[in-house]
Structure 1
Amino acid sequence: MAVTKSDLGFVLILSCLLILTSGQSSQGHFNKHVALFIFGDSLFDPGNNNYINTTPDFQTNFWPNGESYFNPPSGRFSDGRLIPDFIAEFARLPLIPAYLDPHDNEFLYGANFASGGSGVLVETNAGVVVDMRTHLQYFANLEKHYRHILGDAKDDQLLSDAVYLFSCGGNDYQIFLSNNETSLHHEQYVEMVIGNMSDVFKVRPVPML
């Protein structure tokens, strides 16, 4: 696959997949809305990095972050809200909570698994962020939780009706461009990232014990 510099620049900005479906889900709050599940990097992270062992470079729970909307700062890499926050508002949902936030364990309206600094590749900022495949494992754990409280049929309906939002790839390319020692050409690297991204979209993860 031939990839031009302009193609690389486009992918560097944002690689995003949005799947929209409609319908009704189940039980209690679940029968009044469609859930939103968010995966990605700092463009979507609502504060998951507040709850992992990382470095200050990958946390933003201090001013001026959040100064235009949140008090105190939420851990978002922004002075205000992020794209998923506006999507939730448009859908008349509350802000979708960070999955790792210990104060929220029901996730009635969905969950946000994004981690600032993460990439499609497990190697991207490994050890200080939550990589994309771990996002999917977290999602599998949450699906198991839904299945337990809703039953198989209603859980399947909830996940079928849900909205899934992804933002990934930018950090992978940033590291590639700053690494002068790699033996890969940029076309090969783009193919590797896109291949891994496709695998992420297709995989059905197994819950972590």
Structure 2
Amino acid sequence: MSNSSMSSLHLLLVYTSLVIPSSCYSQRPSSPSDHVAMFIFGDSLFDAGNNNYLKSAIGRADFWPYGETFFNHPSGRFSDGRIIPDFIAEYLNLPLIPPYLQPGNHRYLAGVNFASAGAGALAETHKGFVIDLKTQLSYFRKVKQQLREERGDTETTTFLSKAIYLFSIGSNDYVERFSTNFSAFHSSSKKDYVGMVVGNLTAVVKEIYKNGGRRFGFLNVEPMGCSPYARAALQNSTCGCVDELTVLAKLHNRALTKALEALMGQLKGFKYSNFDFHASLSERINNPSKYGISPSRLLLDHALKSFPMILIIG
């Protein structure tokens, strides 16, 4: 089993109690009232092709080796095959969730994918080259309005309350700021800057809650200081990890955990699962052979899936 498949399997097990309905479905969804849909927000880990439709995208997964192991062609996903939401969709007997910007995609009975490679929780992260989280939220509002017009208020409310809202966001806010002269990053303490990132994320979560969302799934940020991009571009060396990014990742993940626990006490009916992607990926980086992965393959996979901007800088 590949690294991607193993990580996806672990994530499925974590999400089981949150996302699996009381009965299984043998048919593809036909109505918002009879199934669980997925709305997907985030960055390259979850992007199913939105960046392919952006005029000035920071990166597109429209060339080999993207897609080579499953689709047999580049699918817009920053992976050699499927991404985590694809495995969860399959487990829920849903079709692959399409990107919001895909032409002709105007039906949302299985949900929709808003994620954009390079995006962050902060609007300033790669501004003009990605779909930032706030814009992803605005697209969700448009989808809700269309559902209301087609299905009415009652059915749409039920549909959105049963849906799953997946998030993978935050890494780009740190990596991109670390490599530039962004004043808010360098003038703020690490704790304050992390607070801005997590605060923007939780603000979007609260807004989705107001719009009917109740069940959420999150990935915390990976060990971004150990990524090929960080090692090669930020410290001009492939040896060792970038310590400051390692510290930021740990601060972010602690802050996210506390923020989600706080939301549990603030929002009635709010349920969530927070997958420790940092620990999962660290384990595979440190012990690749244990999972049947050669070190060189792991390096390529991590580069392709986590940091599409490395393909831009060569």
Corresponding position of 1:95: 96
**Residue 37 (structure 1) aligned with residue 60 (structure 2):** no
Structure 2 residue aligned with 1:79: 80
Deviation (angstroms), 1:21 = 7.4
Is 1:188 aligned to 2:189, yes or no? Answer: no
- Structure 1 distance, partners of 2:121, 2:95, is 28
**Secondary structure in 2 matching 1:157:** helix
Residue in 2 that maps onto 1:198: 202
Unaligned runs of 5+ in 1: 1-17
Aligned-partner SS, 2:31: helix
2:51–2:130 contact (8 Å) kept in structure 1: yes
Change beyond 3 A, Cα 1:184–1:91: same
Query: 4+ residue stretches of structure 1 with deviation over 3 A?
Result: 18-24
Which residues of 2 match residues 118-157 of structure 1 at below 5 A? 118-157=119-158
Q: Secondary structure at the match of 1:203?
A: helix
Q: 2:147 is matched by which residue type in structure 1?
A: Y
Alpha-carbon separation, structure 1, partners of 2:138 and 2:102: 16
Separation in structure 2 between the aligned mates of residue 145 and residue 83 of structure 1, nearest angstrom: 27
**TM-score of the aligned structures, taking structure 1 as reference length:** 0.82
Contact 1:23/1:34 (CA < 8 Å) preserved in 2? no
Whole-angstrom distance in 2 between the partners of 1:69 and 1:28: 26
CA contact (8 A) 1:39 1:167 kept: yes
Distance 1:22 1:140 in 2: 25
Residue 154 of structure 2 aligns to a residue whose secondary structure is: helix
- For residues 144-202 of structure 1, give each alpha carbon's deviation from its aligned partner in whole angstroms, at most 9, with x where no partner exists: 11111111100000000101101110100112322356222212211111111111111
Q: Is the 8 A contact 2:66 2:73 kept in 1?
A: no
Cα deviation, residue 103, structure 1: 2.9
Identical residues among aligned pairs (%): 49
Further displaced range: 156-165 or 192-201: 192-201
Q: How many residues align?
A: 186
Higher relative contact order (CA 8 A, sep 6+): 1
RMSD: 2.2
The alpha-carbon deviation at position 28 of structure 1 amounts to 3.8
Three-state SS of the structure 2 residue aligned to 1:156 is helix
Residues 55-110 of structure 1: CA deviation (Å, up to 9, x unaligned): 4x411111110001113311101101000000001111110000110132112200
Q: In structure 2, how many angstroms separate the alpha carbons of the residues matched to 1:23 and 1:107?
A: 22
Instruction: Indicate the SS of the match to 1:121.
Output: coil
Higher helix share: 2
Gaps of 5+ in 2: 1-14, 24-28, 212-314
Sort the Cα spacing of 1:112 and 1:124 in 2 relative to 1 into closer, same or farther, 3 A. same
CA contact (8 A) 2:44 2:78 kept: yes
Distance in 2 (CA, whole Å) between partners of 1:195 and 1:32 is: 34
TM-score (norm 2): 0.55
Q: Which amino acid aligns with 2:87?
A: F
- Distance in 2, matches of 1:175 and 1:31, equals 41
Q: Which amino acid aligns with 2:132?
A: D
Decide which moves more: 136-145 or 172-181: 172-181
Change in CA separation of 1:179 and 1:185 when aligned onto 2, cut-off 3 Å: farther
2:63 corresponds to: 62
Hey, what does 2:52 align to over in structure 1? 50
CA distance in 2, matches of 1:39, 1:47: 13
Shift of residue 52, structure 1, vs aligned partner: 1.1
